[in-house]
Amino acid sequence: MKGLIYRDAFDIEYADAPEPNPEDTRSAIVKVTACGICGSDLHIYQGHGFSDEPGYCVGHEAVGEVVETGSAVSRFKSGDKVMISAAVGCGTCRACMAGKVTHCETRGGRCYGLNHGLQGVQAEYATVPVADFGLAKIPDGVSEDQVLMLTDNLPTAWFGLKNADIRPGDRVAIVGCGPIGLMAVQGAFVMGASEVFAIDLVAERRAMAEGLGAIGLDASEAVALIAERTQGRMADKVVECVGADPAIELSLKLARPAGTVSCIGVNQNMAFKFPMALAFVKGLTFRTGTCSVPEHWAELIALIKAGKLTPEMTISHQMKLDEGAEAYRMFNARENGAMKMVLRP
């Protein structure tokens, strides 16, 4: 089969990919009908990946149709239309059975497309281990584009908002207005935020946030303007969606005393010097972590069906899988308004 293979920094190739190979009787094979490029995939593309060995298939966001199931799979059958959780666990411990796969008690949590251990889903087919816990049937009343956003991006944004403890009336700052940041902007209003400040370096992305009702700010002016807008109080809650050192530092500056900063951007700088003095003086609550995607599916599906969340609004390009290398290049360069890139075989 064909898929997108990581060769080297800035070198993603549409090429032969490993054939789907069930791990055991709990696995399923899914024919991919749509997959997405996530902002975290750019870490791999830029050569700052999670594995030193190239040659693996990338991607962790996909929807499709079940074509084969192992004998121990009980919830799915061939022909079912499904969405794939970006992360999987062991499927047997208490955490996994509750949908908290990133808290897997057997340390069996994995994500697609980070290395050779679990091949990515930017391919014609995907192997889904522990399928009864890593898949969900596509519900009626939700489009394929919306469901694709449920495989990682929207749950991650929602997780970040929940970690920020947003309450009705809060002033909320969202740092980074890529797809996840924009979903966080919309979600903050759903949670009752009275004002949302959307901070990004790219004017077009700030404009998209403003279209959702936020106050768009360039990073260079955010501290001063939020201080002016709030009479020095600053933001009650801050959600950081970039992962870069300056974005984390800015987030701590934007939070009011005794405020909360929720960091969901992926930061791989092991030498990052956390500004502890600032956090200490302000008495901040700081939270981070990765999202357990299935844990949030039920409430997010309900909000999408009610029209409260429209995650598909972040999709800027629909391209073919064999155009994947170009899609990565465009997304990395933020070229031609590139936001959420969706690929189809």
pLDDT in tens, the chain (345 residues): 999 999 999 999 999 999 999 999 999 999 999 999 999 999 999 998 888 899 999 999 999 999 999 999 999 999 999 999 998 999 999 999 888 898 999 988 899 999 999 999 999 999 999 999 999 999 999 999 999 999 999 999 999 999 999 999 999 999 999 999 999 999 999 999 999 999 999 999 999 999 999 999 999 999 999 999 999 999 999 999 999 999 999 999 999 999 999 999 988 887 899 999 999 999 999 999 999 999 999 999 999 999 999 999 999 999 999 999 999 999 999 999 999 999 999
**Is the same domain home to 145 and 54?**
yes
CB 66 within 8 A of CB 128: no
CA angle 26, 29, 33 (to 5 degrees): 140
In this predicted structure, what is the pLDDT of residue 178?
Answer: 96
Q: What does DSSP say about strands 87-88 and 110-111: parallel, antiparallel, or unpaired? A: antiparallel
How far is residue 250's CA from residue 242's CA, in Å, rounded to a whole number?
A: 11
**Is the same domain home to 296 and 148?**
yes
List all residues 6 or more positions away from 210 whose beta carbon is below 8 Å from its beta carbon.
198, 216
pLDDT digits (tens, 9 = 90+) for 71-84: 999 999 999 999 99
How far is residue 177's CA from residue 166's CA, in Å, rounded to a whole number?
A: 18
- The residue among 266, 288, 310 that closes a domain is 288
pTM, two decimals, is 0.96
313 is in which domain, residue-wise?
2-152+292-344
CA angle 231, 237, 239 (to 5 degrees): 125
CATH number (domain holding residue 239): 3.40.50.720
**Is the same domain home to 218 and 299?**
no
Task: Note the residue count of the chain.
Answer: 345
**Is the same domain home to 46 and 139?**
yes
Per DSSP, 185 falls in state H
List all residues 6 or more positions away from 338 whose beta carbon is below 8 Å from its beta carbon.
316, 317, 330, 331
H helix runs in the chain, sequence order: 41-45, 94-97, 131-134, 144-150, 153-163, 179-190, 203-211, 222-229, 245-254, 276-282, 297-305, 324-333
Looking at the chain, the number of H-run helices and the number of E-run strands are 12, 17
**Is the same domain home to 265 and 116?**
no
The residue behind tokens 């987030």 is 251
How far is residue 26's CA from residue 33's CA, in Å, rounded to a whole number?
A: 22
**CA distances, 30 to each of 14, 105, 177 (Å):** 19, 27, 32
Q: What does DSSP say about strands 135-137 and 81-84: parallel, antiparallel, or unpaired? A: antiparallel
- The residue among 248, 271, 288 that closes a domain is 288
**Is the same domain home to 148 and 296?**
yes
**Is the same domain home to 18 and 143?**
yes
CATH number (domain holding residue 96): 3.90.180.10
- How many domains does the chain fold into? 2
**Is the same domain home to 277 and 337?**
no
- The residue among 241, 271, 288 that closes a domain is 288
List all residues 6 or more positions away from 308 whose beta carbon is below 8 Å from its beta carbon.
190
**Is the same domain home to 16 and 147?**
yes
**Is the same domain home to 29 and 94?**
yes
CB 127 within 8 A of CB 69: no
**Is the same domain home to 97 and 195?**
no
Q: What are phi and psi of 4, to 5 degrees?
A: -95, 120
**Is the same domain home to 199 and 279?**
yes
CB 301 within 8 A of CB 150: yes
CB 265 within 8 A of CB 156: no
How far is residue 171's CA from residue 127's CA, in Å, rounded to a whole number?
A: 43
